Amino acid sequence: MFTPKTGPELWLYIAGALLVSGVLVTSLQLVPGRLRKPLIALVTFLAGLFYIAEFFLPVDPTTRANFLTDYRAPIAQVNQVLLSFAVGVGVYSLLTLHTKNIVRRRQGWGFSVLLLAAMFGILVTGLLKEYRPNPINQAAFSLFFDGGLKSLDAAMFSIVAFYIVSAAYRAFRARSVEATILLVSASLVMLGQVSLGQGLTAGLPTSGFLSNLRVENIREWILTRASTPALLAVELGLGLGALSTSIRLWLSLERGSYFEKDV
C-alpha cells in the first residue's frame, strides 16, 4: 500500500512526521484532566473497532478480503514503530540502575561495569560493522554477538535439561493418588517413546485386543485420548477468558487494579 521513500522525500516525510507528532503530543498535554480518560477510552474503542470490523465484515469470495484488509499490515507496522520507541526507556533504565550500582559501589558492582562495557561494545561494533564494513569490524562484532551473546544464550538454554530432571524428580514422587497417576502415566509415555521401552512389550501381537497393551499403543492412547482433550478443554477456557478480558478492555469496562487510576 505504501512505497518506501528515498532521498529528500524521505527527509521531508521524517520532518512532517516529527511536526505532526509534536503537535499531537502538545495537544494531548493540553487536554483537561477530566477529559483524558474518555479520550483514552475513545482511542481504545476506535483502535479495537478497526480489527473487529475487519474480522466481521463480509469479504470478497475471490480475494478473501474486505475494504479494511489492506490496512491491517500498515497499522501493525505503526504499532511496531510506536513500541520500538520504548527501547530507549529500557536502555535508560539499564543505564541509571547500573550507573548507580557503580557509583555507590553496591555489592556486585563489577558486574554492572561488565554489563555497561558489553552493551556499549556491541553497540559500537554493531554500528561500525554496518557503516564501516571491513574484516576487523565484522570480527569485533562477531566476537561480541556470536562468541558472547549467542554462546551464553545457548548455555542458558542447555541448563533447562538439568532443571527438567530436578523438577521431574520432585513431581514424580508418589505422595498422593494424583502424583502416582502422573508418575505411572509419565513412565508409560517415556517407555513408549524409546525403543528400549517398546522392546518390553515387543512380544505382544501387533493387531487384535492384546495389541492395546503394547507400550507404544498405551503411550499413544494417553497422549491422544487423555492428554490432548484435557489440554483442549484448558485452551477453550483460556480462549473465552481472553475474549471476555478483551471486551472489557476494548469497551473500557475494566475496573479494579490500575484501571481506575485518574490520568
Residues that bind other proteins (CB under 8 A): 51, 54-57, 59, 64, 66, 76, 79-80, 83, 86-91, 93-94, 97, 100, 107-108, 149, 152-153, 156-157, 159-160, 163-164, 166-168, 170-171, 231, 233-238, 240-249, 251, 253-259, 261
**Three cell numbers written together for 185:** 502415566
Distance CA 225, CA 236 (A): 17
Q: Among residues 119 and 198, whose Cβ is nearest to other proteins? A: 119
3-class state of residue 60 by DSSP:
strand
Phi-psi region of 257 (alpha: psi -120 to 50; beta: other; left: phi over 0): left
Q: Among residues 74 and 241, whose Cβ is nearest to other proteins? A: 241
* Angle, vertex CA 94, rays to CA 90 and CA 95, nearest 5: 115
Q: Among residues 69 and 201, whose Cβ is nearest to other proteins? A: 69
Asked if residues 187 and 200 have their Cβ atoms less than 8 Å apart, the reply is: no
At closest approach, how far in Å is the CB of 78 from other proteins? 12
Asked if residues 68 and 50 have their Cβ atoms less than 8 Å apart, the reply is: yes
Q: Among residues 136 and 251, whose Cβ is nearest to other proteins? A: 251
At closest approach, how far in Å is the CB of 232 from other proteins? 9
Distance CA 179, CA 171 (A): 7
Exposure class string for 146-177: b at 16+ Cβ within 10 A, else e: eeeeeeeeeeeeeeeeeeeeeeeeeeeeeeee
At closest approach, how far in Å is the CB of 247 from other proteins? 5
At closest approach, how far in Å is the CB of 237 from other proteins? 4
At closest approach, how far in Å is the CB of 135 from other proteins? 27
Q: Among residues 19 and 97, whose Cβ is nearest to other proteins? A: 97
